[in-house]
Amino acid sequence: MIRLYILCLSILLSWLMSPASAQLPTRMPQFPGGASRTGGQTAPATGGKGAGAGGAILDDSTKMIYGPKSTRYFLESDVLNNRKALFTIDTTLEGIHQAHYVNRLANMYTDLGNLGTALRPVFYQTPTIGSQLGLNVYGLYGYQTQEVRYFDTRSPYTNMDLVLGGRGQNRINFDFTQNVNQRWNFGFNLQRMTSDLQFGGKTGSTSTQRLAENWNFVIHSNYRSVNQKYTLLAHYNNINHRMVDQGGMIEPDTASGNAFNSNIELGTVLPNANSHEKRNDLHVYQQYVLDTAFQVYNIIDFRSQRYSFTDTDITSNLYPLDSAHPERKPFYPRVYFDSLETNQTTRFRLLDNQIGIKGQFSTRGSAFNYRAWLRNRVYGQSYTFNVGRLLPDSTVKTNRFETFVGGWLGYYFPDSLTRATAEVEYLLGRDFRFQGRLESRFLTAGYESVFASPTLVQTRFISNNFQWDHVTRQSAQFELRGTQHAYGQLNLKVGKLVLSPGLDYYLLSNYIYFDTVGVPRQLSSAFSILRSGFGFQFRAGKFAAVGQGYYTLLSRDDVLRIPRLFANARVEYNFLLFKKLYVLAGVQFHYKSAYYADQYMPLTQQYHLQNETKLGDYIMAEPFANFRINRVRLFLKMAHANQDLLGKIYYSAPYFRTINRSFAFGVHWLLFD
């Protein structure tokens, strides 16, 4: 760790002493509905032979100058929808202190209190149609397929990002990309993330045990032909995530007066459990433009996922955890074969091939886009448990072929700020999805109707401790899950204040949830969710205040748990020091009202209902200061600043405390030559 600090400081000092000119902060573009593109600013179209051919930018003294404006990237979704936009590299100070994934996801997800632990959404999410595995708690720790950036650079581009989060939470990202020639770019992204145990194990010593570690590696490339008719985008994505599954902490007896002592030695529910997940994804997009109004495209995905869970001593967890808390149920509800240990491996492979046609028309300042496709998917899944222990063959396999048809329409109004889109997709004989959306400067509104199959984990799971099968037993088959979702949001500007009130209404049918013992159940009756939201932005000179809040009402809070009140807020002030050092300082807040949050079961990788402990009803505060000099950005942050103050300890999940107050430091620098 000391060597790592020295390395970072030496690189930082070399940059501070370099003669590179300072880059003024730029603001990310705002899109209808208050959303922003991730990570950059739209680059203006440039003319001339040098610009069009990717040549160097020259100043008055004919020096080649490379920087954020000479390195541009685009997203596959924009190419697919014929609205390709080039974005320059983001150099703003806003948000660079959001090093923890929960913060980066605007607290819309929650974890088990530490970096790298299982994530779950706070609010209901509309399911995806087609057969999905349903093991997703670690997926967001990797690069997402639709967020992979494809570059067009005029010089080699390197992005290095190091975060030392305190209490053993560390993350490093290294990105590199370079144009091979004017039409072909190649690059890669590398992420390494680790966190240490905060309770149990050997915490507080020089041999602290690792809690979570993650490797994520992406190789990406894009190519276009000389006549610009053929485009190829491709990337390979590998995620390797290891986790020590503790099952929660065994709390001290409240009668002893030590319930709020953060220094007390805490035991773990699962002292000998570990999990390991690997994901591989090969993604290829290609298109050929016969005419602007008629283009053909193809998208191929080959994915594999493997999740293994091992607990070498399950005996003590078949009974109540400890005599001080006899009301708590055993961690494992029962044992079917082996009462000593559990070893479970789930494998999933998918080949997804989509072919389609698309095009665009323009008339009188407006534009019309269309897309139609045929998609075939073939997948295989298997469960294997306790191999070599009491069972000669314990593998359960599932294979299936699926065919989808779909279409997409988009109309762009002459004002260039208003658009209407509609999309429909049908899995032959089963699932269905429809989405319609209107976006303008003042209003964003839409409606979606989805009927989706249960996930494969919800449908069937065979293990040493859980067994359910809703496939082979006709009377117990789960029905399609239905979601009807209508939403709207206003975008109002009053002087320097921007207000964004909104409303979401969900009607859910055949909802599937995991009960208090971790077994899936389907609710036959429909129920609703009504969520009202209110966002604001106020900017006056160097001061800014932004926030977003939600108030949620549920008609069946016995099967779905959402905090009634949810809010994020941030106040900040920016200024310049010594004519070179840009500073953005402030405090961010997060609040959830009290609710019975779901409990995590690592064997099935699912969150399930619990009625034993209530979480929330507190405000978490984190002061921060972001700095930039030349092309180096740094941040300092006091994470969970009010944890353990006034005898108050906060929890992110049942039996998992949020990490204690800690100091986080990060440095982010860009190289353009």
Overall domain count for the chain: 1
Residue position matching structure tokens 């997804």: 352
**From CA 350, how far away is CA 373, in angstroms rounded?**
19
Question: Residue 287 is part of which domain span?
Answer: 2-156+165-252+265-671
**Is 350:377 a contact under the CB 8 Å cutoff?**
yes
HSE-up of residue 309 (Cα within 13 Å, Cβ side): 21
Strand boundaries in 510-597, DSSP class E: 512-514, 520-522, 527-540, 543-554, 565-577, 581-592
pLDDT greater at residue 377 or residue 198: 377
Average of pLDDT values for 63-77? 83
State the pLDDT at residue 284. 98
Task: Give the count of beta carbons closer than 10 Å to the beta carbon of residue 601.
Answer: 23
In a domain, 454, yes or no: yes
pTM: 0.87
Residue 360 has pLDDT above 80, yes or no: yes
For residue 291, CA distances in Å to 87, 361, 487 come to 25, 10, 36
pLDDT greater at residue 200 or residue 123: 123
For residue 84, CA distances in Å to 75, 81, 145, 298, 312 come to 8, 8, 17, 17, 52
Residues 6 or more apart whose Cβ sits within 8 Å of residue 1: none
| pLDDT confidence band for 396 (50 / 70 / 90) | confident
In a domain, 257, yes or no: no
| pLDDT confidence band for 250 (50 / 70 / 90) | confident
3-state helix, strand, coil in the chain (%, to 5): 10, 50, 40
- Tokens for 427, please give them: 């899995």
HSE-up of residue 181 (Cα within 13 Å, Cβ side): 5
In a domain, 561, yes or no: yes
State the pLDDT at residue 325. 57
In a domain, 635, yes or no: yes
Q: pLDDT by residue (tens digit) across 579-631?
A: 899 999 999 999 999 999 999 999 999 999 999 899 988 889 999 999 999 88
State the pLDDT at residue 362. 87
Task: Give the count of beta carbons closer than 10 Å to the beta carbon of residue 260.
Answer: 13
Residue 146 has pLDDT above 70, yes or no: yes
Residue 672 has pLDDT above 90, yes or no: no
**From CA 567, how far away is CA 593, in angstroms rounded?**
9
Q: pLDDT by residue (tens digit) across 165-196?
A: 888 899 999 999 999 999 999 999 999 999 99
Average of pLDDT values for 33-38? 33
**From CA 118, how far away is CA 602, in angstroms rounded?**
9
Percent of the chain with pLDDT over 70: 84
In a domain, 260, yes or no: no
**CATH classification of the domain holding 103:** 2.40.170.20
HSE-up of residue 348 (Cα within 13 Å, Cβ side): 22
State the pLDDT at residue 150. 96
Burial of 575 (0-12, 13-18, 19+ CB in 10 A): exposed
Least trusted range by pLDDT, from 340-344, 420-424, 481-485? 340-344
State the pLDDT at residue 154. 86
In a domain, 332, yes or no: yes
In a domain, 428, yes or no: yes
Contacts from 58-62 at CB under 8 Å and sequence distance 24+?
none
- Tokens for 264, please give them: 């007390």
**Is 181:221 a contact under the CB 8 Å cutoff?**
no
State the pLDDT at residue 588. 96
In a domain, 259, yes or no: no
